[in-house]
Chains A and B, each alone.
Chain A
């Protein structure tokens, strides 16, 4: 494994590819955060799929597999898809989600039709156009990485410059509008930045999976932090690590396309974050169960005490059965009693009878919610 890594990093071609994947990760991680924060994750999905017809058309017009025309074609058709969505939602009763679903399938379908058509053409150099579907990072050369770098820097620069304006756009666009910021221009700018991230991801990850590259890192990052700045940085980091790992995986094993390998990595991180972050599914369940156990223990302690007071003796012993009376089904009183016994708050006096110890009596006094909060 180590040998493999050393080999990977010492090889010039491999280094180029890894650098490309890492830069792509940083850019899509940063830019994707905005798609997620604006609740427009689906827009990224539509745009990346909608890039396909533009790619093929650009190739058909230019005739060679040249990057720049292909990138421009991809960007244009992605933007066109967003334009169509806005047009449809503003001029009909069709809701945004339906419009997006339709735009995605229409554009992507058209792209596939064109792709099939082009692949039947006699020229030899159309080969590899289908690599834009799932990405092929091993085909990255220095020039590609340069384009990724320059486009990425543009995107990062825009995000850096308009940091506070973008925050307004995401959180409260109406309020931003009243302060004189043109939310329409900012919306266009964010779209432009997302499109540029998609375009540079075409070769590495491909149109089908690029949306995950935008959304999954941001979703993962959001689980760990409540600060927008940290979220954006963490998201970039997650995506870069996934990009590099995915590329390494696909280089190490034959026949694993890069796109899926990268996406598997980033999805794994996102899943882990959703489940195990401080606000994650399992963490919350665990906390819930623990606090429920505590409350039950407190309840039993208090019940023993109150029953005891009826005998003018808080340390009076009572049966487990009596304690269980009136409590909810499934409330395992014995379990709570045993836990309290371990803590030294109650003691068993045979025949399933229990009574409070001195420290138990002391503990009950601290239980009153009012005193607890005070």
Chain B
């Protein structure tokens, strides 16, 4: 079921032999991972498992000790425009003097390239993306005035204007309200239904089976990856989290069956 060999088309993301180290600490060890096109994949693992580093190193934001990343069969560096990134909400300063629509417009900078300024077309695009995340009325608002959920929607909108085919999200549901979480899931599922690929760092084990088709369990090394109904089980969770988990997917599934 891994799709390897069966699929003539290259996967959305293929990570081979990826190893990353900060100083003398190995953060990711020899990761081989394939993300099939049109799938919605959760990256799950304990704190310090290297989830954020995986997302960043795929995009070359942290130096790789070893490893190759290809997107749709070509090296990531040649496919930047195919990939859009939603960083952790807390990674930027929300007191920065800018408006919501201008923040979303940053997603168009890649297509514009060096020096060229965004114009009317980019403005319209940004407004369109804001409408999709239901934030149109906040377009002119200062980003410092947004709630956590609204900040996350703005980040998602910024990724949407990139009109990429692969979405990498770092903890898109952290500290957001329930309505926003539902809204984001709906948008992501729409993307996947439209053939896009979504890879998201995810924390809440309770919602994994509900939101995602596939999962990559990580703890420095790759513990398991595949369809949620096949690899999201207590054996793999124990491997990823050590003894520190009290979540048993089978029980939940059994309860649901009853």
Q: Which residues of A contact B (CB under 8 A)?
A: 37, 39, 161-165, 167-168, 170-172, 174-181, 222, 225-228, 231
Q: Is the CB of B87 within 8 A of A162?
A: no
CA of A349 to CA of B233, assembled, Å: 74
- Min CB distance A93 to B, Å, is 9
Question: B137-172: contact bitstring with A at CB < 8 Å (1 yes, 0 no)?
Answer: 000001010000000000000100010000000000
- With A172-B92, A178-B61, A179-B80 already in contact, the answer to whether A226 and B110 are too (CB < 8 A) is no
Least CB separation from B84: chain A residue: A178
Query: What chain B residues lie within 8 Å of A231 (beta carbons)?
Result: 97
Identity of the chain B residue whose Cβ is nearest the Cβ of A163 in the assembled complex:
B117
User: Given A227-B98, A231-B97, A177 and B60 touching (CB < 8 A)?
Assistant: yes
A225 to B96, CA, bound (A): 11
Q: Is the interface of A mostly helix, strand, loop or mixed?
A: helix
**In the assembly, what is the distance between CA of A306 and CA of B142, in Å?**
40
CB distance from B144 to the nearest CB of A (A): 7
**Roughly how many angstroms separate A225 CA and B95 CA in the complex, as a whole number?**
12
Asked whether B27 is an interface residue with its Cβ less than 8 Å from the other chain, the reply is no
Interface residues of B (CB under 8 A from A): 56, 59-61, 80, 83-85, 87, 91-93, 96-99, 103, 106, 109-110, 112, 114-115, 117-118, 142, 144, 158, 162
Bound form: Cα–Cα A181–B85 in Å: 14
Can you give 23 contacting A-B residue pairs, CB < 8 Å? A162-B114, A162-B115, A163-B117, A164-B109, A164-B117, A165-B114, A168-B109, A170-B96, A171-B96, A174-B56, A174-B61, A174-B91, A175-B87, A175-B106, A176-B106, A177-B61, A178-B84, A178-B85, A179-B162, A180-B80, A222-B97, A226-B144, A228-B97
Please report the C-alpha to C-alpha distance between residue A227 and residue B112 in the assembled complex, in whole angstroms. 22
Asked whether, in the complex, the Cβ of B93 is within 8 Å of the Cβ of A171, the reply is: yes
Whole-angstrom distance between the Cβ of A199 and the nearest chain B Cβ? 25
Distance, CA A164 to CA B56, complexed state (A): 23
Which residues on A sit within 8 Å (CB–CB) of B98? 167, 171, 226-228
**CA gap between A164 and B192 in the complex, in Å:** 31
When the two chains form their complex, are residues B91 and A179 in contact, meaning their CB atoms are under 8 A apart?
A: no
Contact A179 B61 (CB under 8 A): no
List 12 extra interface pairs beyond A180-B80, A226-B98, A226-B99, CB under 8 A: A162-B114, A164-B106, A175-B85, A175-B158, A176-B106, A176-B109, A177-B60, A178-B61, A179-B162, A181-B109, A227-B97, A228-B97
Given A164-B117, A174-B61, A226-B144, verify A180-B110 contact (CB < 8 Å).
yes
- Using A162-B115, A179-B109 as known contacts, say yes or no to A227 and B85 having CB atoms under 8 A apart: no
Question: How far is the CB of A58 from the nearest CB of chain B, in Å?
Answer: 34
Q: A172-B91, A226-B97, A228-B97 are in contact. Are A179 and B118 (CB under 8 A)?
A: no
Q: Is the CB of A164 within 8 A of B118?
A: yes
**Chain A contacts of B60 at CB under 8 A?**
177
A136 to chain B, nearest CB (A): 35
Minimum CB distance partner of B105 in chain A: A164
In the complex, A175 Cα to B144 Cα: how many Å? Answer: 19
Distance between Cα atoms of A172 and B56 in the complex (Å): 13
Q: Is there contact, CB below 8 Å, between B144 and A167?
A: no
**C-alpha gap A222/B142 in the complex (Å):** 13
Q: How far is the CB of B111 from the nearest CB of chain A, in Å?
A: 8
Contact: B80 with A167, CB < 8 Å? no
| Residue in B closest to A230 when the chains form the complex, CB atoms | B97
Q: Which residues of B contact A179 (CB under 8 A)?
A: 80, 109-110, 162
A179 CA to B116 CA, complexed, in Å: 14
Question: Within 8 Å CB of A225, what residues of B?
Answer: 97
With beta carbons under 8 angstroms apart, the residue of B80, B87, B109, B114 that contacts A174 is B87
| Interface core residue of B56, B83, B84, B110 (most chain A CB under 10 Å) | B110
List, in ascending order, chain A residues with CB within 8 A of B87's CB: 172, 174-175
CB distance from A283 to the nearest CB of B (A): 16
Complex CA gap A367/B96 in Å reads 36
CB neighbours of A175 from chain B (8 A): 85, 87, 106, 158
For the complex, give the distance between the alpha carbons of A164 and B110 in Å: 11
Beyond A227-B98, A227-B99, A228-B98, whether A178 also contacts B115 by CB under 8 A is no
Q: Which residues of A contact B117 (CB under 8 A)?
A: 163-164
Residue of A nearest to B114 (CB): A165
Q: Which residue of A lies closest to B162 (CB)?
A: A179
Q: Of all chain A residues, which has the CB nearest B143?
A: A226
Give chain B nearest CB distance to A219 CB in angstroms.
12
- Min Cβ gap B42→A in Å is 21
Whether the pair B61, A171 counts as a contact (CB closer than 8 A) is no
Complex contacts, B144 vs chain A, CB 8 Å: 226
Q: Contact check, B97 vs A178: say whether CB atoms are below 8 A apart.
A: no
Contact A161 B115 (CB under 8 A): yes
